[in-house]
Structure 1
């Protein structure tokens, strides 16, 4: 007797597509985490293209159609991020992680507040070069200060966005 997992995994691709076409983008993203097979099917360009067209329309889909190695999933995520945070240069916080975002594209992972605490603790140890200067320790210290400033700006932007949302309601 086959287990339910094996029965589900043996479904034809077309059946998966019919089912996954009924999902919204959040549930489709969750479905990608179930198994390798589901990730493969839920990443299908046709699914994400349809989601994009449903949300933003065919004209936008024609304008934003992916080029090169980009997928419809990537285009959808970028457009969604633009809608949520705007197209300017932003520092966003997702959980304890911070990202630098420009025009909806994540430009750089700035780090995590959890990791920052570990780095700051390690940067207290002095490291000297052959001239007796503590260049590495100074570099880590200044990097730590810059990261704290970026994290602070990210926290301000999140608080500002939350304040705006609460005023609207």
Structure 2
């Protein structure tokens, strides 16, 4: 997870709540959480987002990244992650969603989509109630979107062919990206 400093607590809480509900598992995989901050200062945000993406590239077990970095900072990070086949969920805006919905977008140099963008309104009352009772503070839209994005990744990790058939299942990143985009992109044709 790569979250802006101002919303880090909210994004992390939404992601962690989704992981807790899944009991740290998705399909055949045990899921670990790693969080990193992105500066709220626009002059630092892109460098932070890229450094966080590079850290994910070094982690051979990284399956996906959830980020709420601003669109200008998220674009180069998504591009870098796409080159390595790592899926990304951006808790972003409609302009970034339009790019993520285009297979021909410059953010996908590998030639296939690996990112979705979660947009929309604030959290429903049922989520607010659960979140508040479990965590002791009220969620923002960022927490809700982080939760939704993480649930999308978790369900995609359980999709057919995402785990290899070997004795010790391994992640097929291309299959994960395909499942995530096909089931959760909310793109309209």
TM superposition score normalised by structure 2:
0.23
Higher CA-based Rg = 1
Q: Which has the higher contact order (CA 8 A, sep 6+)?
A: 2
Structure having the larger proportion of residues in helix: 1
